[in-house]
Structure 1
Amino acid sequence: MAAMFSSSEISKTATSLFSAYASFAGSMMLVRSMANELIPHPLRSYLFNGLSYFLAPLSPDLTLAIDEQCGMGKNEVYEAARVYLGTRISPKTERLKVSKTRKQKHLTTAIDNGETVVDRFENVKLTWRFVCGEGQKPHSWEKRYFELSFNKKHKDKVLDFYLPYVLLKAEETKNKDKVIKLYSRQCPFSEDDGGVRGFWGSIILDHPATFDTLAMDPDLKKMIIDDLDRFLKRKGYYKKVGKAWKRGYLLYGPPGTGKSSLVAAMANYLKFDIYDLGITSVRSDADLRRTLLSTGNRSILLVEDIDCSSEVLERQTANKNKQQDAKSRQLTLSGLLNCIDGLWSSCGDERIIVFTTNFKDRIDPALLRPGRMDLHINMSYCTSDGFRILASNYLGIGSKYNPFFGEIDGLLESTEASPAEVAEELMRSDDADTALQGLVEFLKRKRDEATETENKPEDSDEVGSSITRLNAAISRVKRSKTDGDRKKIMMVNGRM
């Protein structure tokens, strides 16, 4: 064999190979140069990608991308995957995000960017991967999504059985560890999501208010509870009559009468999250629609002090000098009405809408009609029944006789004192008698001040003095009609 290949022949063969290689390389460089000159760059990229697709080996796996957002709303599959994967973290995971807020009872764990979790479902191997990157547009929020990879032959099983299983398990986990959250647009960072920016920010709401602790008339309190219970049970009824499954409440009354506490008690009773919508933070009707579509089901949408937003919600009058594009950037009353009682109101189920105000007469009547604000609840000044509840809460003497009770009941009948003012007086001492004595003195001062204001002689400011006396008289009339208002509320509620 050695004689067959002499050194001279091997040298000639190597020279021929190098020559052929050099000729081929030169030809390819010439072709590349001509291609760069004659073929446009987009066409070259298209041809290169096409060749890569046909020459690459076929993969047996299929990957599903599950984005955080689904159009203008949240992707429920993404939320379910985030909760579900928190219970499927294996020892092989190299990086985890661990967090705990001051109101959480347990540590929260989640996979970090780029980490994977392997799951099995009916002998099918499924690989989850969390991806977090910059948004496509400048100054946009980061883009977060999950990748789910598996063998292509199991596609139907994953879509029809595995993903519904993930949704079910995530719902069970959330119900087991249910905490009520307070959402706000003004602070778009969530405590339980690693401080990542989103459309709504949230904190855990640990408000202690319940219907048992509210200083309200017992009949009015029972009516509200019955109305909430009836609303929860009537999903089929709302569908049958062709209405969105929602309920509107208007809470009106002087400051300190417990409007915010009633909202917290409703949330604790229903186990609903609260979305605190500040109207002044909404720039336009389109922004309002995006905001409402990003809220979840089984929630309370709260708009506090709606009367203070009257300038924002004034009806837009025709003005030929205004440009159409300027109108599109405004928040209008019509836009708000369409979101709470128009076609957009049907984009969600089991929702409570609550407006609060100190001055009901300042609200546009269009907001007050049934279908928008179904139930009007007058949060009045402190009554004898409300005082008994506060005395039980703060002093532990609600059901016990006390010699101060009779005098306090009489003063509350003739004096306008809010539950917040009464509660503040009861907190001034741990001794019941001392606290009640202080409350008596406080109510007497308020009564004397009101009497002095009413009897103040007219001077140069006669008009202002007359208005003051007129307002005081109107307040007394409203106070005397409180029981009648409650009966009317219950009658209206019975017709709904």
Structure 2
Amino acid sequence: MATRMFPEMPTASSLLTAYASVSAFVMLVRTMFEQLVPLRLQNNAINLVKHYWKSSELIIDIEEKDGYNPNEMFNAAEVFLATKINQDSKRLRITKSLKEKHINIKLAESEEIVDSFEGVKVTWKYRSQQQKQLSANGFVPEKKYLELKFDNKKIGIIKDSYLPFIIEKAEEIKIQKKAAQLHNLRSQESGPFSYKQTVDLNHPSTFETLAMDQKLKKEIMDDLDRFVKRKDYYERVGKAWKRGYLLYGPPGTGKSSLIAAMANHLKFDVFDLQLMNVKDDSSLKDIILETSNRSILVIEDIDCSIMPDRKEPSSSSESRRDDPKFTLSGLLNFIDGLWSCCGDERIIVFTTNHKERLDPALLRPGRMDMHINMSYLTMDGFKTLAANYLNIHDDHRRFREIKQLIKSKKVTPAEVAEELMKSDNVEVALEGLVKFLKRKRARDDEDSE
């Protein structure tokens, strides 16, 4: 019997009836909400309810476009989140453009990734929505964005540290994936083409394969690595973020291979400038302005180029009409003058077979900071060639004789490499090299007599 203190419990049938009535009411409200309320208002209402239901969470939408312009924060986040994808992911997207060598893996619709930064838990989710308004060409645009969710008390850490960290990491990833390119800089007067022609730099040269002294090789690598890490240093001392290298030595000693190794090591583009094609200082300025940051500007065989003195070009009637009219002072101004500040993280490389022929103004520190003597082949360099071409990584009975022959007569890495390529058989190749070196010594002895 029911009492005032203990009222009679409802029956199971009455509970089911009440549940069914409430469920039907909720379904009716949900159906009316979905059919009568526009999609955008639905999303706003849902987000509003979520906001007040769980007020400690903050959601940031990072849209793909900022008006008509790409949103770099969205692109950086996509690159960064690709490194966070793991075996728990349920749905992903794969993209690859024609020019890309790598496959890109990205989040698919509604896929979530949980990350943490300085103890703050964050959740990322990829979203997309069809827009109601048609574009000018009748296409229904799709709004794509990344949803970033975290504790709203941590907004300072996210804004000031986490998002800049993502941009920095994304840039590092892009540099690692980047394929270096070779640009041929042209003067506008040299033909009906643009200032530069571009191809991928597929040169296989690396510091591991360079046939040069190991100590010198390490010095160059250390100098390059130190240069790219010193942006703040260059700003603090008030210098343009650039560095100059002079590669000098006889032909065939690997100057071009070293440039390719530098580009592959740093993932820098290479801009090749032929001074013979430059009409005047104004053309030189236009050409060099076509170069980009994180690049190597190369002027090969500068001793063979037309290099006027630092005065204005001669106006004598003897000079031909089609002779270049640029001045050495114009070139120097682009190396360390005001125009040298137009860009960051740039390397300038001059090569020459005859260092003694160059104007001293080109060689001082601040213009050519490191002078690298590309000498004749040493035993260190030969061992690198033997490893590259014949897969010899240990000592060989022929090495002692070859060492004496290399020390007694000057021979370039290119000459020795050509001999090693003549046979895949180690013994045959080394025997041919010994004969070549002996013939070269005998020929040089005859010439000296």
**SS of equivalent residue, structure 1 residue 254:** coil
Q: Deviations over 1:238-291 (max 9, x none)?
A: 112211110000001111101011011111111111111111122111111111
Contact kept in structure 2, 1:284 and 1:328, CA below 8 Å:
no
Alignment match of 2:372 (pick from 377, 382, 400): 377
Matches within 5 A, 1:60-99: none
Residues 301 and 435 (structure 1), Cα distance of their counterparts in 2 relative to 1, 3 Å cut:
same
Alignment match of 1:415 (pick from 409, 413, 421): 409
Alignment match of 2:199 (pick from 200, 203, 210): 203
Q: Does structure 1 residue 358 correspond to structure 2 residue 350?
A: no
Q: Does structure 1 residue 287 correspond to structure 2 residue 312?
A: no
Q: Deviations over 1:461-496 (max 9, x none)?
A: xxxxxxxxxxxxxxxxxxxxxxxxxxxxxxxxxxxx
State the partner residue of 1:246.
Answer: 242
Contact kept in structure 1, 2:313 and 2:326, CA below 8 Å:
no
State the partner residue of 1:392.
Answer: 387
Alignment match of 2:343 (pick from 338, 345, 348): 348
State the partner residue of 2:442.
Answer: 448
Alignment match of 1:297 (pick from 293, 297, 321): 293
State the partner residue of 2:325.
Answer: 330
Alignment match of 1:227 (pick from 197, 217, 223): 223
Please report how far the alpha carbon of residue 398 of structure 1 lies from its aligned counterpart in structure 2 after TM superposition. Answer: 2.8
Residues 350 and 364 (structure 1), Cα distance of their counterparts in 2 relative to 1, 3 Å cut:
same
Contact kept in structure 2, 1:100 and 1:106, CA below 8 Å:
no
Q: Provide the rounded CA distance (Å) in 1 between the counterparts of 2:67 and 2:283.
A: 30
Please report how far the alpha carbon of residue 129 of structure 1 lies from its aligned counterpart in structure 2 after TM superposition. Answer: 9.7
Q: Provide the rounded CA distance (Å) in 2 between the counterparts of 1:128 and 1:168.
A: 34
Contact kept in structure 1, 2:295 and 2:346, CA below 8 Å:
yes
With the length of structure 2 as denominator, give the TM-score of the two structures: 0.61
Q: Provide the rounded CA distance (Å) in 2 between the counterparts of 1:337 and 1:257.
A: 27
Q: Provide the rounded CA distance (Å) in 2 between the counterparts of 1:370 and 1:410.
A: 37
Residues 432 and 238 (structure 1), Cα distance of their counterparts in 2 relative to 1, 3 Å cut:
same
**SS of equivalent residue, structure 1 residue 403:** coil
Q: Provide the rounded CA distance (Å) in 1 between the counterparts of 2:240 and 2:382.
A: 38
Contact kept in structure 1, 2:250 and 2:353, CA below 8 Å:
yes
More helix by share: 1
Contact kept in structure 2, 1:280 and 1:312, CA below 8 Å:
no
**SS of equivalent residue, structure 1 residue 268:** helix
Please report how far the alpha carbon of residue 316 of structure 1 lies from its aligned counterpart in structure 2 after TM superposition. Answer: 3.8
State the partner residue of 1:37.
Answer: none
Q: Provide the rounded CA distance (Å) in 1 between the counterparts of 2:135 and 2:344.
A: 30
State the partner residue of 1:263.
Answer: 259
Residues 229 and 291 (structure 1), Cα distance of their counterparts in 2 relative to 1, 3 Å cut:
same
Please report how far the alpha carbon of residue 313 of structure 1 lies from its aligned counterpart in structure 2 after TM superposition. Answer: 3.8
Please report how far the alpha carbon of residue 181 of structure 1 lies from its aligned counterpart in structure 2 after TM superposition. Answer: 0.5
Residues 312 and 129 (structure 1), Cα distance of their counterparts in 2 relative to 1, 3 Å cut:
farther
State the partner residue of 1:180.
Answer: 180
State the partner residue of 1:95.
Answer: none
Contact kept in structure 2, 1:238 and 1:244, CA below 8 Å:
yes
Q: How large is the Cα RMSD of the aligned pairs? A: 4.4
Contact kept in structure 1, 2:241 and 2:345, CA below 8 Å:
yes
Write the letter of the residue equivalent to 1:178.
K
Residues 392 and 187 (structure 1), Cα distance of their counterparts in 2 relative to 1, 3 Å cut:
farther
Residues 239 and 454 (structure 1), Cα distance of their counterparts in 2 relative to 1, 3 Å cut:
same
Q: Provide the rounded CA distance (Å) in 1 between the counterparts of 2:180 and 2:381.
A: 26
Contact kept in structure 2, 1:187 and 1:201, CA below 8 Å:
no
Write the letter of the residue equivalent to 2:325.
Q
Residues 387 and 275 (structure 1), Cα distance of their counterparts in 2 relative to 1, 3 Å cut:
same
Please report how far the alpha carbon of residue 173 of structure 1 lies from its aligned counterpart in structure 2 after TM superposition. Answer: 8.2
Contact kept in structure 1, 2:186 and 2:195, CA below 8 Å:
no
Please report how far the alpha carbon of residue 226 of structure 1 lies from its aligned counterpart in structure 2 after TM superposition. Answer: 0.9
Residues 412 and 319 (structure 1), Cα distance of their counterparts in 2 relative to 1, 3 Å cut:
closer
Contact kept in structure 2, 1:285 and 1:328, CA below 8 Å:
no
Residues 124 and 314 (structure 1), Cα distance of their counterparts in 2 relative to 1, 3 Å cut:
farther
Residues 228 and 171 (structure 1), Cα distance of their counterparts in 2 relative to 1, 3 Å cut:
closer
Q: Provide the rounded CA distance (Å) in 1 between the counterparts of 2:132 and 2:200.
A: 36
Contact kept in structure 1, 2:381 and 2:413, CA below 8 Å:
yes
Residues 294 and 169 (structure 1), Cα distance of their counterparts in 2 relative to 1, 3 Å cut:
farther
Runs of 4+ in 1 over 2 A off after TM superposition: 63-66, 98-101, 103-107, 120-130, 167-177, 185-188, 196-199, 311-322, 326-329
Please report how far the alpha carbon of residue 345 of structure 1 lies from its aligned counterpart in structure 2 after TM superposition. Answer: 0.2
Alignment match of 1:426 (pick from 395, 408, 420): 420
Q: Does structure 1 residue 308 correspond to structure 2 residue 304?
A: yes
Q: Deviations over 1:163-210 (max 9, x none)?
A: x9xx9999688446411111112599xxxxxxx964322111111111
Q: Provide the rounded CA distance (Å) in 2 between the counterparts of 1:224 and 1:169.
A: 26
Q: Provide the rounded CA distance (Å) in 2 between the counterparts of 1:308 and 1:127.
A: 62
Q: Deviations over 1:353-378 (max 9, x none)?
A: 10111111111111111100010000
Write the letter of the residue equivalent to 2:200.
I
**SS of equivalent residue, structure 2 residue 398:** helix
Residues 363 and 425 (structure 1), Cα distance of their counterparts in 2 relative to 1, 3 Å cut:
same
Q: Provide the rounded CA distance (Å) in 2 between the counterparts of 1:199 and 1:106.
A: 31
Q: Provide the rounded CA distance (Å) in 2 between the counterparts of 1:295 and 1:127.
A: 40
Contact kept in structure 1, 2:253 and 2:374, CA below 8 Å:
yes
Q: Size of the alignment, in residue pairs?
A: 318
Write the letter of the residue equivalent to 1:409.
K
Q: Which runs of 5+ in 1 are unaligned?
A: 1-62, 67-76, 88-97, 108-119, 131-163, 189-195, 456-496
Residues 172 and 377 (structure 1), Cα distance of their counterparts in 2 relative to 1, 3 Å cut:
closer
Q: Which runs of 5+ in 2 are unaligned?
A: 1-65, 80-95, 105-126, 138-163
Q: Provide the rounded CA distance (Å) in 1 between the counterparts of 2:444 and 2:310.
A: 38
Residues 126 and 199 (structure 1), Cα distance of their counterparts in 2 relative to 1, 3 Å cut:
farther
Contact kept in structure 2, 1:215 and 1:382, CA below 8 Å:
yes
State the partner residue of 2:430.
Answer: 436
- State percent identity of aligned pairs: 54
